[in-house]
C-alpha cells in the first residue's frame, strides 16, 4: 500500500515531532510511508476566513500532489475534514476540479481512522505510563465523526490511564482565525476548557489536532498549570524504548 503522509502546514512548521511520530508509527505497523515534498497546506485558513480564491488554489495544489496514492494520512482531523467535506463545495459540479477532488478526497484519512478502519489496528503496541485526558476536537467529532476511535486506541496503550474530560464535546475556542478575531470569547472558551482539564488531574492533554492543542496548550502554559499537551500520534508512537 502506497501511503502518503500529509503532515499539514502547522505540523510541518511548528510541530515536526508529530510528523515524525506518524512516520515511525506507520512504519512500525508495516506501511510504506512517503512524504510528497511538494505538499504545502490544505487551504482551510484561507477558505474559512473568507479567501476562497486563495484557498481553492491550495485545494487544487493538494489534489495534484496527492493524486495516485492508495491512502493519504493526516495527523489532523481538521485538515482531513477540510479535504473531504469542504473541497467539493469549492468547485462547480461536473468540473475538472470536482473530478480531481472526487478522486483524492475519499482516500484522505485522519490518523485514527486509518489505523482502525484501514489497518484494523486498535492496539498499536504503544507504551505511555501517564494519566491522560482526551479532547475530541470539533472537526474530528462533528466533522469526521471519529467517534471513539481515538479513545479506543488510547485505551490499548500500555501503562496509560485515560480519564474522561468533563464537557469534552465543547469547542476549545480555537477556531482558526477566530482565536485572534474574537480573542475575548476564544479566551473565555479556553478558560472553561482548561478548568475541565485540570479537574481530571491529568498530566497530559491529548487531541488529534495540534492547532487546537496550540491554543489550549498556550493557555495551560500561561496559567502555569503544568499540564502538557501531546498529539495522539506522539502517544501512539511511544514505546518502552523511549
Partner 1 sequence: MSATFIGMPGNFPENAAKAVQNSQLRFNLRKATHTIRDRRASVVGELPDWQELRAAGKAIKDHTLRNLERYLLRMEEAVTRAGGTVHWARDADEANRIVTDLVKATGETEVVKVKSMATQEIGLNEALAEHGIAAYETDLAELIVQLGDDFPSHILVPAIHRNRSEIREIFLDRMPEVSPDLTDDPPALTEAARLHLRERFLRSKVAISGANFMIAETGTLVVLESEGNGRMCLSLPETLISVVGIEKLLPSWRDLEVFLQLLPRSSTGERMNPYTSMWTGAVEGQEFHLVLLDNGRTDVLADEVGRQALRCIRCSACLNVCPVYERAGGHAYGSVYPGPIGAILTPQLRGMGSELDASLPFASSLCGACYDVCPVAIDIPEVLVDLRAKAPHAAAERAGMKVAGWILNDHERLAKAQRAATKLRRLVPKRRLPGPLSAWTDTRDVPEIPEESFRDWWERTGRGERSGGPTEEGLRGASEEW
Name residues contacting partner 1, limited to 127-166 (CB under 8 A).
Answer: 138-139, 142-143
Q: Give the separation between CA 242 and CA 227, rounded to whole angstroms.
A: 20
Query: With respect to partner 1, which residue has the nearer C-beta, 82 or 115?
Result: 82
Q: Give the separation between CA 154 and CA 181, rounded to whole angstroms.
A: 34
Query: With respect to partner 1, which residue has the nearer C-beta, 137 or 160?
Result: 137
The DSSP line for 26-55 is: HHHTT-EEE--TT----SHHHHHHT-HHHH
- Which span sits near partner 1 by CB under 8 A: 113-121, 122-130, 149-157, 178-186? 178-186
Smallest gap, in angstroms, from Cβ of residue 121 to partner 1?
22
- Which span sits near partner 1 by CB under 8 A: 93-101, 102-110, 123-131, 201-209? 93-101
Q: Give the separation between CA 1 and CA 208, rounded to whole angstroms.
A: 23
Please report whether residue 179 would count as binding partner 1 according to CB under 8 A: yes
Residues 24-43 that bind partner 1 (CB under 8 A): 32, 34-41, 43
Cell output for 73: 494520512
Q: Give the separation between CA 76 and CA 42, rounded to whole angstroms.
A: 11
Residues 182-221 that bind partner 1 (CB under 8 A): 182-190, 214-215, 217-219, 221
Amino acid at each position: 500500500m502506497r501511503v502518503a503522509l500529509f503532515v499539514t502546514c502547522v505540523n510541518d512548521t511548528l510541530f515536526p515531532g508529530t510528523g515524525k511520530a506518524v512516520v515511525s508509527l506507520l512504519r512500525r505497523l508495516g506501511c510504506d510511508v512517503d512524504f510528497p515534498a511538494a505538499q504545502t497546506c490544505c487551504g482551510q485558513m484561507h477558505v474559512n476566513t473568507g479567501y476562497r480564491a486563495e484557498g481553492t488554489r491550495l485545494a487544487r495544489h493538494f489534489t495534484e500532489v496527492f493524486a495516485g496514492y492508495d491512502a493519504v494520512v493526516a495527523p489532523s482531523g481538521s485538515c482531513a475534514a477540510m479535504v473531504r467535506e469542504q473541497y467539493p463545495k469549492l468547485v462547480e459540479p461536473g468540473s475538472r476540479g470536482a473530478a480531481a477532488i472526487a478522486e483524492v478526497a475519499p482516500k484522505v484519512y485522519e490518523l485514527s481512522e486509518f489505523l482502525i478502519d484501514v489497518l484494523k489496528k486498535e492496539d498499536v503496541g504503544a507504551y505511555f505510563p501517564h494519566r491522560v485526558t482526551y479532547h475530541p476536537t470539533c472537526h474530528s467529532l462533528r466533522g469526521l465523526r471519529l467517534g471513539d476511535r481515538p479513545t479506543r486506541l488510547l485505551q490499548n496503550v500500555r501503562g496509560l490511564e485515560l480519564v474522561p474530560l468533563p464537557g469534552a464535546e465543547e469547542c476549545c475556542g480555537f477556531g482558526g482565525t477566530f482565536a485572534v478575531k474574537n480573542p475575548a470569547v476564544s479566551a473565555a472558551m479556553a478558560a472553561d476548557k482548561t478548568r475541565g482539564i485540570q479537574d481530571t488531574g491529568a498530566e497530559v492533554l491529548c487531541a488529534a489536532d495540534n492547532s487546537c492543542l496550540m491554543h489550549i496548550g498556550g493557555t495551560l502554559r500561561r496559567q502555569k498549570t503544568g499540564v502538557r499537551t501531546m498529539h495522539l500520534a506522539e502517544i501512539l508512537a511511544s514505546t518502552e524504548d523511549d
